[in-house]
Chains A and B, each alone.
Chain A
């Protein structure tokens, strides 16, 4: 686009440069006049000259430097030539980084080239790439998810399993299956261990935790969630029979009962923990959740107020607390 602010400078620069050339072509050229007009011309033309660079390079300190050097060069044609060369250098694609050397191959599969990552640009998000049209980028993004914890990567992998590119699907599915196989494998081992008597707390609790984990990670569908949580609660009840005073069992019970909407069971476990002396800041958020599930808005407001008064509102409840306790604006 034409930058009007640069036009006067450019015009003035052209006039001054003409004067410089005329001084140079005069019968007795004066070095002072030639260089003086030329320097003034380039300084005036700087805002316009910057426009010759791609937008991302205009603000670079190197570009300013180049313009200053270009302006300071003593001969009229050398300066613009220098700037043209500088521009050309900027636009040349950098060599594919020096690390791209591999045994038995010259390219690395499943990666994005490094020069795609401009340091001045904001980091690209996996979701953005997965929604993009570039197949290679989507494959690289799926591969990069290996370092992400399952809770965060699983929703993206599930989305990628429906991708239009077969290789994206295959990579996502392999990764997804591996996570599932790890979790289900542990369930299998623990179930097999439980089948061998005697049944004790150290067998029941880890197995219940594993079933809860499957739900927590979003690996269970609506129907299987009921199955997994049902099994977890069954195991936890058995664990309570064996060790009634064991508090970690009750904690897990509250979580599982709330997830499967068994509110009475959750309430009873919270009551047990309160009697055991657990702090309100641990238990009140769950009570707020029960109030929410029961759509008991006065109770929800009271519990949130209780947390606010003790200054123990957890971050996840901040939005809800502000909504219920702060006066409406306007």
Chain B
């Protein structure tokens, strides 16, 4: 007799990560790392969603000790031959399932679609062991739905393009659905984006009657829409004249609708929707999020790390220093618009010859762009004034900078601005992402602290130069902005606050019964808890389960 498989330990939180930690470097990955390391008392499990399996993929982060498991699933994983074969399913079950699927695809309202979606997933669960992707490819009923939807929605498109688009649309979802039992058990499920991570998070939470929420750093749906609108791998008929009502081709619209729907599934199932700043919150509402569920938890840093730099900066600016340095910390890539900074540098250096510019950041990502930047420096005759420092540690370069500048075209909540604020450096930023909230404050008490810098229009060298000159030529303003920035970083953007907010959220969700609308079958394997499993939804539960502070 085979020994029973070792039961999986129940984590406090399972994080759903799409194309990020631990395989990809970037802002979201750093944030995940901060959360896991910053809440050592909690046990985390990770569910990583990638595009295609790459055996040479390198983990950029060492998993901390409080990570119990890391499970991986790949959206474009090829199906096995077995999976591609059709299986016979009793007619009664099959017809019921396809009736629901048909209702889902042909729904006339969003509410009807959402209801049929969950009902269809429940029906799919019922035929689970007998159903394969081959059924979706070969069953007569699926073909009928496909043709009906084609005739209803896009009869003018090529049927072949439509057919393959539909198949390609479903493969990632099927791979995720198939992997649903791999999701490590936890008390709270947390997706770090909408899209596929949001979908599997919502489905898992619903099936396991567990609390679920989502954090969006950037708005996934919005980014996908921009990407799909320009994608050349999705067929779109040629257009010969401008028409504001034509919009995108029907097949592109299908992809957009899919991502909008996946976003709604996640928003619908989430107990809370967390984002970084109010601009994002407004976009989420536009994509169907319930405003009552949305909360803002901005990214945080540890201001005390910058105490020494802050003191040194304040001492230096008590008197007007002879030489002054403007710092840019970031990758030298087009989205950071370093060229605007260089043009602004020319204006500043003409008016204030004592000012120099330090550009600290890697430039290997786009060597052509870096080369152009260097040539611009030569053409503007500011070689003596602009210094490219390359990849640098923030703690090494920040003390050398008096004012920070960020000319980005697009940002979320830039950590470098926060770090600059903690170090008492005034910031000049383009008016993108959360920069306005960071520099001017979000709430009335936050705004009362004063301004931590100046905002400029995007791609505006003149405004950037003007703002820099205004700060650099006035030590009093420089100090005042530095103090306001430091206070704001301490009070509203500290890592402790951010971690505390997430700790409270995990506790709150783990301690209260989930608002699940309809009972679903229990999870396939009964997990044996490393820490006690959550009580059923209707049972009185302890306010703070063991394992949580």
- Do A and B associate with each other? yes
The answer on a CB contact under 8 Å between B279 and A174 is: no
Q: Contact size class for A?
A: 35 or more
Tell me the complex Cα distance, A158–B340, Å. 14
The answer on a CB contact under 8 Å between A221 and B339 is: yes
Tell me the complex Cα distance, A143–B249, Å. 11
Tell me if B65 counts as interface (CB < 8 A to partner A): no
The answer on a CB contact under 8 Å between B254 and A103 is: yes
Q: Looking at A102, A114, A148, which has the most chain B CB atoms within 10 Å of its CB?
A: A102
The answer on a CB contact under 8 Å between B253 and A101 is: no
Quick check: which of A11-19, A71-79, A223-231, A234-242 contacts chain B, the rest being far away?
A223-231
Complex interface: chain A residues within 8 A of B458 (CB): 161-162, 169
Q: Apart from A116-B244, A124-B244, what 18 extra A-B contacts exist at CB < 8 Å?
A: A102-B250, A103-B257, A105-B256, A106-B107, A109-B248, A109-B256, A109-B260, A110-B248, A112-B244, A143-B248, A161-B458, A166-B283, A170-B410, A171-B226, A188-B368, A223-B375, A224-B376, A227-B379
Complex interface: chain B residues within 8 A of A169 (CB): 409-410, 432, 458
The answer on a CB contact under 8 Å between A147 and B241 is: yes
Which B221-236 residues have C-beta < 8 A from chain A? 222-223, 225-227, 229-230
Which B250-266 residues have C-beta < 8 A from chain A? 250, 253-254, 256-258, 260-261
Complex interface: chain B residues within 8 A of A109 (CB): 225, 247-248, 253, 256-257, 260
Tell me the complex Cα distance, A134–B241, Å. 22
Tell me the complex Cα distance, A129–B230, Å. 21
Neighbour of B410 across the interface among A101, A143, A173, CB < 8 A: A173
Tell me if A175 counts as interface (CB < 8 A to partner B): yes
The answer on a CB contact under 8 Å between B222 and A108 is: no
Tell me the complex Cα distance, A156–B288, Å. 30
Q: How many A-B pairs fall under 8 Å by CB? A: 140
Query: In the complex, how many angstroms separate the beta carbon of A178 from the nearest chain B beta carbon?
Result: 5
Tell me if A66 counts as interface (CB < 8 A to partner B): no
Tell me if B530 counts as interface (CB < 8 A to partner A): no
**Are A223 and B149 also in contact (CB < 8 A) when A108-B253, A109-B260, A147-B239 are?**
no
A166, closest chain B residue (CB): B279
Q: Majority SS of interface residues in chain A?
A: helix
Which A165-201 residues have C-beta < 8 A from chain B? 166-167, 169-171, 173-175, 177-178, 184, 188
Complex interface: chain A residues within 8 A of B246 (CB): 111, 144
The answer on a CB contact under 8 Å between A141 and B244 is: yes
Complex interface: chain B residues within 8 A of A101 (CB): 152-153
Complex interface: chain B residues within 8 A of A175 (CB): 229-230
Neighbour of B153 across the interface among A103, A129, A144, A158, CB < 8 A: A103
Tell me the complex Cα distance, A74–B432, Å. 68
The answer on a CB contact under 8 Å between B260 and A105 is: yes
The answer on a CB contact under 8 Å between A113 and B222 is: no
Quick check: which of B38-46, B108-116, B202-210 contacts chain A, the rest being far away?
B108-116
The answer on a CB contact under 8 Å between B110 and A112 is: no
Query: In the complex, how many angstroms separate the beta carbon of B220 from the nearest chain A beta carbon?
Result: 12
Complex interface: chain B residues within 8 A of A110 (CB): 225, 229, 247-248
**Are A174 and B376 also in contact (CB < 8 A) when A137-B244, A144-B243 are?**
no
29 CB < 8 A contacts A-B: A101-B153, A102-B153, A102-B154, A103-B105, A103-B153, A104-B113, A108-B247, A108-B248, A108-B253, A109-B248, A110-B229, A113-B245, A129-B244, A137-B244, A140-B245, A143-B247, A144-B242, A161-B458, A162-B457, A167-B225, A167-B226, A174-B226, A174-B230, A184-B368, A224-B339, A224-B375, A224-B376, A226-B379, A227-B379
Complex interface: chain A residues within 8 A of B153 (CB): 101-103
The answer on a CB contact under 8 Å between B245 and A111 is: yes
Tell me the complex Cα distance, A141–B229, Å. 13
Tell me if A262 counts as interface (CB < 8 A to partner B): no
The answer on a CB contact under 8 Å between A170 and B459 is: no
Tell me if B240 counts as interface (CB < 8 A to partner A): yes
Neighbour of B247 across the interface among A140, A145, A158, A167, CB < 8 A: A140
The answer on a CB contact under 8 Å between A223 and B113 is: no
The answer on a CB contact under 8 Å between A148 and B149 is: no
Complex interface: chain B residues within 8 A of A148 (CB): 242
Tell me if A146 counts as interface (CB < 8 A to partner B): yes
B280, closest chain A residue (CB): A166
Which B389-430 residues have C-beta < 8 A from chain A? 409-410
Tell me if B161 counts as interface (CB < 8 A to partner A): no
Q: Looking at A116, A145, A147, A177, which has the most chain B CB atoms within 10 Å of its CB?
A: A147
Which A212-226 residues have C-beta < 8 A from chain B? 221, 223-224, 226
Tell me the complex Cα distance, A215–B152, Å. 47
Tell me if A117 counts as interface (CB < 8 A to partner B): yes
Query: In the complex, how many angstroms separate the beta carbon of B410 from the nearest chain A beta carbon?
Result: 7
The answer on a CB contact under 8 Å between A103 and B154 is: yes
Tell me if B372 counts as interface (CB < 8 A to partner A): yes
A187, closest chain B residue (CB): B368
The answer on a CB contact under 8 Å between A227 and B242 is: no
**Are A106 and B109 also in contact (CB < 8 A) when A174-B227, A227-B375 are?**
yes
Query: In the complex, how many angstroms separate the beta carbon of A249 from the nearest chain B beta carbon?
Result: 25
The answer on a CB contact under 8 Å between A170 and B223 is: yes
Tell me the complex Cα distance, A145–B239, Å. 10
Query: In the complex, how many angstroms separate the beta carbon of A170 from the nearest chain B beta carbon?
Result: 5
The answer on a CB contact under 8 Å between A167 and B283 is: yes
The answer on a CB contact under 8 Å between B244 and A173 is: no
Tell me if A68 counts as interface (CB < 8 A to partner B): no
Tell me the complex Cα distance, A22–B375, Å. 94
Tell me if A126 counts as interface (CB < 8 A to partner B): yes
**Are A126 and B242 also in contact (CB < 8 A) when A161-B458, A170-B226 are?**
yes
Complex interface: chain A residues within 8 A of B339 (CB): 221, 223-224
Tell me the complex Cα distance, A104–B105, Å. 6
Tell me if B127 counts as interface (CB < 8 A to partner A): no
The answer on a CB contact under 8 Å between B149 and A103 is: yes
